[in-house]
Amino acid sequence: MSQAPALSLDVALVGGGIMSATLGTFLQQVEPSWSIGLFENLDRAGLESSDPWNNAGTGHSALCELNYAPAAADGSVDPKKSLGINEQFQLSRQFFSWAVTNGLVKDPQSFIHPLPHMSFVIGEDHQRYLKTRYESLSANPLFASMEYTEDRDQIGDWTPLVGEGRTQKTVAASRVKDGTDVDFGSLTRQLVDGLGAKGADIRFRHRVTNLTKTANGWQLEVKNQGTGETFAVDAKFVFVGAGGGALPLLQKSGIDEAKGYGGFPVSGEFLRCTNNEVIARHEAKVYGQASVGAPPMSVPHLDTRYVGGKKALMFGPYGGFSPKFLKTGKLWDLPASVRGNNLLPMLAVAKDNLDLVKYLVTELLKTRNQQMNAMRDYYPAANAEDWELITAGQRVQVIKKDPKKKGVLQFGTEVIAAGDGTIAGLLGASPGASTATPIMLGLLQRCFPSKYAGWEDTLKAMVPTLGHTLNDEPDLYAETKAVTDKVLKLA
């Protein structure tokens, strides 16, 4: 039953991460007269998964992440998935560039830095795979600048920490110089500030505790965490951009489209370097191969980061398990998410993913010595005293119904939207923040089908190659990349 609302909005954004920030920015441009409210449980925007210490900051464009180019049974590598990820990041780069040009972000170096993306492997099988991947990808305009080597000295030139003290002879690496490191937390906060400056009602320390369908949209129950007061907010459209908190809220909404979905939380830890001399000697994101059973996004990487303008160096992630759905969540998040409609898919996933369970248990039991040894595959001369352990964000992987297997675990993201388009939410976390732009553009098209055509010109002013496939239009790719490189100070 609905109460008299304290606030009536056109759009309510639940959560202040990169997804809500991106969607809100698009909506404010296409419908400047719409009233927008954003409710964030924590003190500031971008403090959960979008925070720079909670994710790896890779501008995912499949330049170095081997999980986006798996080998087929015959050893061949199909470039399709990598091309798709790269195409998506081109849209994000254009959106970032628009945000800088339009003054929403003052200085691009507050959130994005150019950084070589490398893949590094050890052993004959992996070397063969990396060469095949290089041949398959570099034949495409989007990957034409990829380099490949099996020469240890060359690898040492590209990245001294990876070469130094290395004894294995059979190694290989690929490199694309124009990858990026992105501080999604800084970007999120600047976009949310921009929303507020243009009239959106931004409420930090406000938690959305329930959602009820009304005749004109939805009524949200919102709790002010400072005063303890609870009030009602009416909204014609709701985006549940609550990250790991999205599944419980979508379940509360009762929409049919959310039924059958479950979540499997995977936590991560990184080792962070405390030695400035070591940090200064590395300038790349170096990704390797995932261990057997590891979820695809858990591939180890030795990573330069730029956080708050300061250079950092991380290695990880080490997988872990916590039943929380957010880093600031509750231990009962996982059990509380079990429903009659998702129990079967969840049990099926538990039965079919023993490799993953084994991987997580092994990771949890790793001693610091074993963690350091894992790093030494990438940085053989690493000294344990130079590294401290930090806990990263929570990822809630999507569990969904499957006609054959009853339930499957999915590592991508999925937009759940009600058939009438009045509510949508995002589940899953990979490739994540890097794809916020294309995901939110897709959401606009899906939830506002009758308005989208009228919005297209405005959207194309923000993301000029919307609707194009840049790999098929190399001149357009070169032209737009030159513009974004200049605006974002990447060249």
Quick check: helix, strand or coil at residue 265?
strand
In the bound complex, what is the minimum distance in angstroms from residue 164's beta carbon to ligand FAD? 25
Residue nearest ligand FAD (C-beta atom):
17
Residue found by looking up tokens 């005063």 in the block: 227
- Find out whether 285 and 116 touch, Cβ atoms under 8 Å: yes
Question: What is the widest separation between alpha-carbon atoms in the chain?
Answer: 72
Beta bridge partners of 130: none
> Mutual orientation of helices 18-30 and 184-197 as an angle, nearest 10°?
40
Name which of 92 and 471 has its Cβ closer to ligand FAD. Answer: 92
Name which of 52 and 141 has its Cβ closer to ligand FAD. Answer: 52
Name which of 108 and 431 has its Cβ closer to ligand FAD. Answer: 431
Name which of 152 and 223 has its Cβ closer to ligand FAD. Answer: 223
In the bound complex, what is the minimum distance in angstroms from residue 202's beta carbon to ligand FAD? 12
Spatial distance between the Cα atoms of 328 and 265, rounded to a whole number of angstroms: 13
In the bound complex, what is the minimum distance in angstroms from residue 474's beta carbon to ligand FAD? 25
φ, ψ dihedrals at 222, nearest 5°: -120, 130
- Find out whether 212 and 2 touch, Cβ atoms under 8 Å: yes
Name which of 348 and 417 has its Cβ closer to ligand FAD. Answer: 417
Name which of 100 and 392 has its Cβ closer to ligand FAD. Answer: 392
Tallying the residues shown for the chain, one arrives at 491
Name which of 334 and 348 has its Cβ closer to ligand FAD. Answer: 334
In the bound complex, what is the minimum distance in angstroms from residue 484's beta carbon to ligand FAD? 17
**What token pair was written down for 49?**
């998964």
In the bound complex, what is the minimum distance in angstroms from residue 121's beta carbon to ligand FAD? 20
- Under 8 Å CB-to-CB from 460, ≥6 apart: which residues? 466, 467
- Find out whether 393 and 51 touch, Cβ atoms under 8 Å: yes
In the bound complex, what is the minimum distance in angstroms from residue 39's beta carbon to ligand FAD? 5
Applying CB under 6 A, which residues contact ligand FAD? Answer: 14-20, 39-42, 47-50, 54-58, 60, 184, 207-208, 241-243, 245, 249, 268, 317, 326, 392-393, 395, 426, 429, 431-434
Name which of 241 and 263 has its Cβ closer to ligand FAD. Answer: 241
Q: Give residue 450's identity as a one-letter amino acid code.
A: S
Q: DSSP string spanning 168-187?
A: -S-EEEEEETT-EEE-HHHH
In the bound complex, what is the minimum distance in angstroms from residue 170's beta carbon to ligand FAD? 28
Q: DSSP string spanning 303-324?
A: EEEEETTEEEEEEEEEEE--S-
In the bound complex, what is the minimum distance in angstroms from residue 269's beta carbon to ligand FAD? 9
**Pairing between β-strand 206-214 and β-strand 217-224 as defined by DSSP bridges:** antiparallel
In the bound complex, what is the minimum distance in angstroms from residue 475's beta carbon to ligand FAD? 28
Quick check: helix, strand or coil at residue 203?
strand
In the bound complex, what is the minimum distance in angstroms from residue 219's beta carbon to ligand FAD? 15
Residues 42-59 as b/e (b if ≥16 CB within 10 A, e otherwise) read: beebbbbbbbbbbbbbbb
Spatial distance between the Cα atoms of 376 and 166, rounded to a whole number of angstroms: 9
In the bound complex, what is the minimum distance in angstroms from residue 298's beta carbon to ligand FAD? 9
In the bound complex, what is the minimum distance in angstroms from residue 18's beta carbon to ligand FAD? 5
Name which of 242 and 423 has its Cβ closer to ligand FAD. Answer: 242
Name which of 171 and 463 has its Cβ closer to ligand FAD. Answer: 463
Name which of 163 and 244 has its Cβ closer to ligand FAD. Answer: 244
Spatial distance between the Cα atoms of 185 and 309, rounded to a whole number of angstroms: 12
Beta bridge partners of 186: none
H helices present in 210-285, as ranges: 246-253, 276-280
φ, ψ dihedrals at 64, nearest 5°: -130, -10
Spatial distance between the Cα atoms of 491 and 483, rounded to a whole number of angstroms: 10
**What token pair was written down for 14?**
């639940």
Name which of 229 and 479 has its Cβ closer to ligand FAD. Answer: 229
Quick check: helix, strand or coil at residue 18?
helix
